[in-house]
């Protein structure tokens, strides 16, 4: 790394980097901005008894210009705090969304969210839930969240990936899970 400079310190810091890269063309040094999101845990809550999936709907302000609605259908997710494991993050995020205490979480993929501009890594998991208890409006007041719970059949969730669910983490999670279920 040649240089690193912080441009903004706040909820999501932004900094520039000028990396020393092996380049295939003889070009000058480059500078790029990185949006520091932190890392996130993504949970696909599945009820194998009822064959249902618990999805959430919440306001995502950046989607106001890019989606049919800024209220997006998503998997349950949460930012992983410094020193916290994925397994520690998932149960609190799924509270009230049908989480069965003590049930196994199945690890899925670990991947970069948007490596072209953010440092975020996603840890994807499938967790067993009781979809019959998943309902209501949730979210910590201090985070100003207004999260609505949806319970749908597994096949409906698959269909929603073809348009109703339009965010990368949820589409990747659902498609990966579908491949696993079809083995």
pLDDT, averaged in runs of 10, over the chain (183 residues) = 77 78 66 85 91 92 87 89 80 50 66 85 89 84 84 94 89 86 72
pLDDT at site 183: 66
Q: CA torsion 53→57→58→63, rounded to 10°? A: 110
d(CA 90, CA 104): 12
Q: Which pLDDT belongs to residue 108?
A: 77
d(CA 139, CA 64): 20
| Per-residue pLDDT at 102 | 41
Q: Which two tokens stand for residue 162?
A: 């073809």
Name the binding residues for Mg(2+). Answer: 77, 145
User: What is the pLDDT, as a whole number, of residue 105?
Assistant: 64
Distance of CA 174 to the CA centre of its chain: 11
Q: Which pLDDT belongs to residue 154?
A: 93
So what's the pLDDT on residue 104? 56
Q: Which residues are annotated as a binding site?
A: 77, 145
Active-site position among 5, 87, 143, 155: 143
What pLDDT does residue 101 have? 47
Domains in the chain, CATH or no CATH each: 1-36 (no CATH), 38-181 (3.90.79.10)
Q: Is 143 a catalytic residue?
A: yes
pLDDT at 1: 53
Say what the pTM is.
Answer: 0.78
Give residue 7's region: left, alpha or beta (phi > 0; psi -120 to 50): alpha
């Amino acid at each position: 790394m040649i240089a690193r400079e912080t441009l903004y310190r706040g909820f999501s810091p932004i900094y520039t980097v000028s990396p020393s890269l092996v380049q295939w063309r003889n070009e000058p040094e480059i500078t790029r901005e990185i949006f520091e999101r932190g890392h996130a845990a993504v949970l696909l809550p599945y009820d194998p008894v009822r064959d249902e999936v618990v999805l959430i709907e919440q306001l995502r302000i950046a989607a106001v210009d890019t989606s049919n609605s800024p209220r997006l259908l998503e998997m349950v997710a949460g930012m992983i705090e410094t020193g916290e494991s994925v397994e520690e993050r998932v149960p609190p995020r799924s509270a009230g969304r049908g989480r069965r205490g003590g049930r196994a979480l199945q690890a899925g993929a670990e991947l970069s969210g948007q490596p072209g501009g953010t440092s975020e890594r996603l840890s994807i998991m499938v967790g067993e839930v009781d979809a019959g208890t998943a309902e209501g409006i949730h979210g910590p007041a201090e985070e100003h969240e207004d999260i609505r719970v949806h319970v749908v059949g597994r096949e409906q969730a698959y269909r929603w990936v073809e348009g109703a669910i339009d965010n990368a983490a949820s589409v990747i999670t659902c498609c990966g899970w579908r491949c696993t279920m079809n083995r």
